[in-house]
Amino acid sequence: MPKEYDLVIIGAGTGGYTAAVKAAKEGLKTAVVEKDREGGTCLHQGCIPSKALLKSAEMYREMQESAQYGISASDVTLQFDKVQSRKDTVVEQLHRGVKSLMNKDSIDIYKGTGRILGPSIFSPRAGTISVERNDEQENAMLLPKHVMIATGSRPRQFPGLEADGTTIMTSDHALELNELPASIIIVGGGVIGVEFASMMSDFGVEVTVIENTSRLLPQEDQDVAKEMEKSLKNRGVHIYTAGNVLEKKYSDEDSVTLQVEQNGQPFELTAGKVLLCIGRQANIEDIGIENTDIETENGVVVTDGAGRTKETHIYAIGDVRGGMQLAHTASREGINAVEDMLMRMPEPVDPARVPRCTYSRPETASIGWTQEQAENRYEYVKVSRVPFQALGRAVVQGKTEGFVKFVVNGANDDLLGVHMFGDGVTELISEASLAMLVDAANTELAETIHPHPSLSEIFGEAALAVENRAIHF
Ligand SMILES: Cc1cc2nc3c(=O)[nH]c(=O)nc-3n(C[C@H](O)[C@H](O)[C@H](O)COP(=O)(O)OP(=O)(O)OC[C@H]3O[C@@H](n4cnc5c(N)ncnc54)[C@H](O)[C@@H]3O)c2cc1C
């Protein structure tokens, strides 16, 4: 007989495990089916391992540049095997944390592949879950009142340039490299491509980026994208925007040659490795969607604002639902779906209030509308831009590159967007996130007292600058 649950979640990534803990804390009898490791992409192939490697890359670069702080460090040596083992230790520590969170809340974890079955003798509606176990336990049948699909996504493949894990890699492979190549071509200049470009360049790899739109970070404000391009170029990264990979000309164990074109001009590029960063594809196959009335569109599961699919007892959250494929969106959507099951009518996630970060050196962080988007939506838009150069703390830190840009509705003083490029901005963005949540007016940000000296002072200055009242700029 199937085991009964209030909620069964397929996938224990960021979205799935967060929803499971939330549901268990609310008293719902909860099970999670996970075919790989708890923590999903974010913990094992995404946010955490990439940031651990980026941290080592940044340390390596900073130690080489330590003379500016009066410290001479000779013989700065990169031991990439140790960099990788530190990253593995970080991931393992957090993996243990996720497992213990789920154990503490008495969530049943089934290791294996979960599939949704159609109506059966157990249930008149789609939703019984079959679990094909991969932990030597017997396969299982689970009968939940609610189902949550949280199966995430995987790297998108490039037709004709399929990743083989050796010379042609996805981000999954690049995070597990045993040694660094002398050179790398990164196909795709979005967030993941830019993070790898920054990391590889700091590790001393010769980096080329090919991006098929007219600029890096196409989702970001133009000013941020432009500065990022300038900064990477200053570090010796070769960047081809409006560039396309036409085909693979040649590859052997040590190198790959690609036929590329930019502005109609074909040319060849050769490097030790190619890294594909061209987006993510939702995991909608082999989970039994065909046994249900659930709709999919453009490769993602269609839901309403609360995450309900067309089968209203089946929810989908996180990357499998498309949209902003970010860990913090996945976890919020998971929490909201549980709230919806409890009939609490949560506010849908508003993409204009979700922070977006690139953990390169320097970083980018933003929230809300870009200047261009705001000008298309509102009649009277005011903009300010304040450089970190104006701040004592930035000068002290030796990190004056970058700026903060505010986009404000001139008609009512509403903050419409905040866009930042600079050291530490991925931490600063949370102030803008809170400001937007509580609908703070620009003048309220100007009145907020920020500690001195701190990078956060730039918020007050940027808010004042909207009214041409900035003190330090
Ligand atoms: C290199 C890289 C860097 C990133 N950096 C960031 C970052 O800095 N910040 C950020 O917010 N986001 C980042 N992301 C994105 C982030 O990792 C994802 O948005 C997030 O992991 C999505 O969570 P999820 O729960 O939807 O899916 P996932 O984390 O992908 O989890 C899905 C889980 O479902 C399991 N699963 C799939 N099918 C089945 C099945 N049939 N049965 C059982 N289990 C199944 C999978 O094994 C997996 O564990 C990054 C991604 C990459 C690739």
pLDDT digits (tens, 9 = 90+) for 414-440: 999 999 999 999 999 999 999 999 999
Distance CA 130, CA 268 (A): 50
Question: What is the arithmetic mean of pLDDT over 118-128?
Answer: 90
The whole-chain average pLDDT of the chain stands at 96
Answer yes or no: is 360 a known binding residue: no
Q: Please give the backbone phi and psi of residue 25, each rounded to the nearest 5 degrees, phi first.
A: -65, -25
Whether the predicted pLDDT of 122 surpasses 90 = no
Q: What is the reported pLDDT for 120?
A: 87
Answer yes or no: is 236 a known binding residue: no
Instruction: Please give the DSSP secondary-structure letter assigned to residue 393.
Output: H
Question: What is the arithmetic mean of pLDDT over 186-215?
Answer: 98
Angle, to 10 degrees, between the axis of helix 14-25 and the axis of helix 327-341?
30
Q: What is the reported pLDDT for 136?
A: 83
What residues have CB less than 8 Å from 358, skipping those under 6 apart?
A: 191, 194, 195, 217, 220, 228, 364, 365
Asked if 372 and 218 count as a contact pair (C-beta separation under 8 A), the reply is: no
Closest CA to 313 of 292, 332, 330: 292
Instruction: Please give the DSSP secondary-structure letter assigned to residue 289.
Output: G
Distance CA 206, CA 58 (A): 16
SS3 143: strand
Q: Give yes or no: 452 in active site.
A: yes
Whether the predicted pLDDT of 121 surpasses 90 = no
Amino acid letter at 21?
V
pLDDT band at 326 (very low <50, low <70, confident <90, very high): very high
Q: What is the reported pLDDT for 253?
A: 87
Q: What are the structural domains of the chain?
A: 3-154+281-351 (3.50.50.60), 157-278 (3.50.50.60), 362-465 (3.30.390.30)
Q: What is the reported pLDDT for 65?
A: 93
Atom of ligand 1 nearest to the CA of 327: 11
pLDDT band at 118 (very low <50, low <70, confident <90, very high): very high
For atom 8 of ligand 1, which residue has the closest CA? 47
Whether the predicted pLDDT of 286 surpasses 90 = yes
| Angle, CA 452 vertex, CA 448 and CA 453 arms, to 5° | 135
Distance CA 387, CA 400 (A): 8
Closest CA to 277 of 207, 228, 330: 207
Q: What pLDDT digit, counting tens, does each position of 59-85 carry? A: 999 999 999 999 998 899 999 999 999
Q: Is 160 left (phi over 0), alpha (psi -120 to 50) or beta?
A: left
Question: What is the arithmetic mean of pLDDT over 189-209?
Answer: 98
Catalytic residue among 44, 146, 173, 452: 452
Ligand 1 neighbours (beta carbon < 6 A):
10-16, 33-36, 40-42, 45-47, 50, 113-114, 150-153, 171, 192, 283, 287, 318-319, 325-328, 330, 359
Beta bridge partners of 265: 262
Q: What is the reported pLDDT for 250?
A: 92
Q: For the chain, what is the radius of gyration of the CA atoms?
A: 24
Q: What is the reported pLDDT for 242?
A: 96
Q: What is the reported pLDDT for 74?
A: 87
Amino acid letter at 404?
V
- Is it true that the peptide bond before 453 is cis, omega within 30 degrees of 0? yes
pLDDT band at 217 (very low <50, low <70, confident <90, very high): very high
Asked if 250 and 256 count as a contact pair (C-beta separation under 8 A), the reply is: yes
Answer yes or no: is 112 a known binding residue: no
pLDDT band at 266 (very low <50, low <70, confident <90, very high): very high
Q: What is the reported pLDDT for 473?
A: 86
Percent of the chain having pLDDT more than 70? 100
Distance CA 18, CA 86 (A): 25
